[in-house]
Amino acid sequence: LEPHRGHDVLLDAARAWSRLDPVPLLVVAGEGAQRSALQDRIDAEELPARLIGRRDDVPELLAAADLALLSSSWESRSLLAQEALHARVPLVATAVGGIPELVGDAAELVPYGDAQALADAVVRLLTDDVRRRELRDRGAAQAASWPTEDDTVTQVLSVYDELTQPLASY
Distance CA 55, CA 164 (A): 41
Residues of the chain whose pLDDT is less than 70? 168-170
Q: 47 lies in which domain range?
A: 3-164
* Strand (E) or helix (H) holding 92: strand 91-94
Distance CA 132, CA 106 (A): 10
169 occurs within a structural domain: no
What does the pLDDT read at residue 95?
97
SS3 40: helix
24 occurs within a structural domain: yes
Distance CA 82, CA 99 (A): 10
Distance CA 3, CA 11 (A): 13
What does the pLDDT read at residue 157?
84
53 occurs within a structural domain: yes
What does the pLDDT read at residue 57?
94
In CATH, what number is assigned to the domain containing residue 29? 3.40.50.2000
How many independent structural domains does the chain possess? 1
